[in-house]
Structure 1
Amino acid sequence: MALNASLAKFRTEFSDATARNVQHARPTNAPARTTTPKPSDGIAKRTHDAAFSDTKAGTPAAAAALATRHSGAELMTQVYTAVQYLKEKSPAPIAFDNLISYLSLPTDAQKHIPLIRRALRDSDQATYVPRAESPNGKESFKYRPQIPVTNAEELKDYLGIMATRSASGIAVKDLKDGWPDCTASLDQLEREGFVLITRWKKDNSPRTIYPDSPSYHILNSHTGLPQKIDADFVDVWSKTKLPAGEAEIRNELEKAGLTPTSQVKEVRKTEPKRKEKRRVNRKGGKTTNAHMLGILKDYSKK
């Protein structure tokens, strides 16, 4: 009887608790919860999916991303993203605070901020701009391209310096690292006689540039630009053919009365000189010290 009473009491309490929970439950037609957006500081930020795409459950890289969390691999990923953002905004410097805001670091990665600053300062793809030199009054960074050129005037100065060091040209693909839209300016500099350009045959796009100077050209009196070469000269130049081989070059030189350097020179044999034998006086005779007769005693009689 006591057991039945206890069971009945438990059922009553359970029924009351269930009724109370149903009364306080959220209605199905309740409006969705909204949050008040924070005021924007004008800096574009990465989306949540872009920042954590490698840690989503179900992706192939999920296990590896979770294993390398709080490690150097994640830090280098953040530094790489920051460098790419600096390249996108080049040549303008970006304040470090704005750079961190763009990275949208999670709460547990805030401790990486000093490491990111140090990695950017040591990177050969970023240039540190102190507060005193920064236009925004904050410590900033800007992208450091492979070739420090962003306009036509800087290219002229850079080519002038490079001409004193080497005769090699500049690859246009390296120049576009810091000056993506340089093609139109290169064409204009070529017309003005400041650069020589080799081009790709398939689309005639610039391939390599070399230093030049308008002083090496005949300038047009009306336009001030280098004058184009006469078609007759180009025709004569094109029809002039060089000898095909060494034998033909030698024949042409001999016809002109010149001696080719490849001609075999006649070597004259000279007889070696004979060594004269030294004559030795072997005549017999008595040798005396005649100049010392008055000094030495004569013992010939003994």
Structure 2
Amino acid sequence: MALNASLAAFKTEFSDATKRNAQHARPSSNIPPRTTTPKPTPDVIAKRTHDAAFSQPTAGIPAAAAAQATRHSGAELMTQVYTAVKYLREKSPTPITFDNLISYLSLPLDAQKNIPLIRRALQDSREATHLSKAESGNGKESFKYRPLYPITNAEELKDYLGKLASQSAGGIPVKDLKDGWPDCVASLDALERDGFVMVLRWKKDGTPRTIYPDSPSYHILNPNTALPMKADADFEDMWRKIKLPGSELEIRNELEKAGLVPTSQVREVVKVGGKRKEKRRINRKNGKTTNAHMLGILKDYSKR
């Protein structure tokens, strides 16, 4: 009975609380309807095609595509500079005005912005020499090809070799000489015949390999032709019969036979100053020590 009474009291109290809450609640018309924002569904990322991936970038492109466009522009600029240097080499040693050089490149409209960069690249290039309006001789800014050696004819070669002979005993590779003087072989043969150059040739085909400075004053001239005379056949035959040592051991033995000291011989190292002088030690254990110069001052206590 007590349990039923408690349940009835709880139901009555719950009913009264529900009525009170309903009276203080807002009218349903003043409550705005709750709206829910639907979550966006992820778009399906379409895979790029080959043409889209490697097409020319346009405005509004992302950072990665902008970097790709910069690299493409830099490669295009280097191609234009390479083409310009190649054209200067073909026209060497004639200077080419910068306007004619740009006209030869036939730059498209979107590449006109590269003109200042091309001028700067040619000025800094090792293969091009910039000529101002005063230096060009035509009153216009010009460029010309700069070869590995400033030699384009026989006279320039003789002058250059004359300066080279006073500085070193080195030679000039013919392949590097052809960089600024492509058709130099015929002139080299004539200079060798006149005694102005010494030519080292390839054994296979006899083409020039390296040239060294020479002078007609070093040769015996033929009185009839005024050209350097060649050595007699007997002298050349004797020169070729001279046998050179085939190894370092043979060279050393030949030097020792001639009473010469080879540079490869191990020399004995002699210490400067000799042996160290030992300090003399005096044994005073059994000796009598006296101060003869102070006999009249000190007293003798040796007997005590």
- TM-score, reference length from structure 2: 0.65
1:279-290 alignment runs, 5 A limit:
280-283=283-286
Q: Unaligned regions of 5+ residues in structure 2, if any? A: 1-50, 58-67, 269-274
Cα distance change of structure 1 residues 162 and 261 upon mapping to structure 2, 3 Å threshold: same
Segment drifting more, 198-207 vs 170-179: 198-207
Q: Indicate which of 102, 113, 116 corresponds to 2:115.
A: 113
Answer yes or no: is 1:176 the counterpart of 2:184. no
Aligned to 2:235: 233
Q: Return the alpha-carbon distance in structure 2 between the equivalents of residues 233 and 205 of structure 1.
A: 25
Q: What secondary structure, in the 3-state scheme, does the structure 2 residue paired with 1:127 have?
A: strand
Contact 1:68/1:74 (<8 A) preserved: no
**1:284: Cα distance to partner?**
5.9
Q: What secondary structure, in the 3-state scheme, does the structure 1 residue paired with 2:134 have?
A: coil
Q: Return the alpha-carbon distance in structure 1 between the equivalents of residues 185 and 75 of structure 2.
A: 37
Cα distance change of structure 1 residues 65 and 248 upon mapping to structure 2, 3 Å threshold: same
Root mean square deviation, CA, Å: 3.8
Q: Return the alpha-carbon distance in structure 2 between the equivalents of residues 90 and 211 of structure 1.
A: 25
Q: Indicate which of 73, 86, 89 corresponds to 1:87.
A: 89
Contact 1:170/1:208 (<8 A) preserved: yes
AA aligned opposite 2:175: K
Q: What secondary structure, in the 3-state scheme, does the structure 1 residue paired with 2:143 have?
A: strand
Aligned to 2:103: 101
Q: What secondary structure, in the 3-state scheme, does the structure 2 residue paired with 1:221 have?
A: coil
Q: Indicate which of 204, 208, 211 corresponds to 2:210.
A: 208
In the TM superposition, what whole-angstrom CA distance separates every residue of 1:64-108 from its partner, at most 9, and x where no partner exists? 887658711111111111111111110000111111111111112
Q: What secondary structure, in the 3-state scheme, does the structure 1 residue paired with 2:129 have?
A: strand
Q: Which structure has the greater CA radius of gyration?
A: 2
Segment drifting more, 130-139 vs 235-244: 235-244
Q: Return the alpha-carbon distance in structure 2 between the equivalents of residues 186 and 123 of structure 1.
A: 30
Contact 2:255/2:261 (<8 A) preserved: no
Aligned to 2:32: none
Q: Return the alpha-carbon distance in structure 1 between the equivalents of residues 210 and 303 of structure 2.
A: 111
Answer yes or no: is 1:76 the counterpart of 2:78. yes
Cα distance change of structure 1 residues 296 and 213 upon mapping to structure 2, 3 Å threshold: same
Aligned to 2:259: 259
Segment drifting more, 154-163 vs 274-283: 274-283
Cα distance change of structure 1 residues 213 and 64 upon mapping to structure 2, 3 Å threshold: farther
Q: Indicate which of 153, 160, 163 corresponds to 1:161.
A: 163
Cα distance change of structure 1 residues 232 and 64 upon mapping to structure 2, 3 Å threshold: farther
**1:235: Cα distance to partner?**
1.1
1:6-85 alignment runs, 5 A limit:
63=54, 71-85=73-87
**1:258: Cα distance to partner?**
3.7
Answer yes or no: is 1:148 the counterpart of 2:153. no
Equivalences, count: 234
**1:214: Cα distance to partner?**
1.2
Q: Percent identity?
A: 69
Contact 1:169/1:209 (<8 A) preserved: yes
